[in-house]
């Protein structure tokens, strides 16, 4: 089984939790699903090696992506 290469971090009570995803798109889908449930998503990021700025999607950008998905549906 290949290792997950992306994570989604979100608040669960007083803790920050990570959920693993196989791809960037899957991580975005997970984050949007969490937002639909009113869960505070912190960021999406790559687990592989050195990270570029493009490998982190912050909470502001996640909410923009989520809004675009809602409007597209």
What is the rounded average pLDDT for all residues in the chain?
89
Residue 33 lies in a domain: yes
Residue bearing the bigger pLDDT, 55 or 44: 44
Distance CA 59, CA 18 (A): 14
Q: How confident is the model at residue 55 (pLDDT cuts 50, 70, 90)?
A: confident
Mean local confidence (pLDDT), 55-65:
92
- For residue 12, the enclosing domain spans 6-72
Element (DSSP H or E) covering residue 33? helix 24-36
- Judge whether residue 57 has pLDDT over 60: yes
For the entire predicted model, the pTM comes to 0.83
Torsion of CA 67, 68, 69, 70, to 10 degrees: 50
Q: Is residue 1 in some structural domain?
A: no
Q: Is residue 41 part of a domain?
A: yes
| Cβ atoms 66, 32 nearer than 8 A | yes
- What is the rounded CA–CA span in Å between residue 6 and residue 73? 25
Q: Tell me, what's the pLDDT at 27?
A: 95
């Amino acid at each position: 089984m290949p290792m997950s290469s992306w994570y989604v971090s979100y608040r669960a009570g007083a803790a920050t939790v990570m959920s693993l995803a196989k791809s960037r798109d899957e991580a975005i889908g997970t984050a949007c699903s969490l937002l639909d449930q009113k869960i505070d998503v912190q960021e999406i990021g790559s687990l592989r090696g050195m990270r570029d700025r493009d490998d982190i999607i912050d909470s502001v950008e996640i909410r923009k992506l989520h809004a675009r998905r809602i409007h597209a549906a």
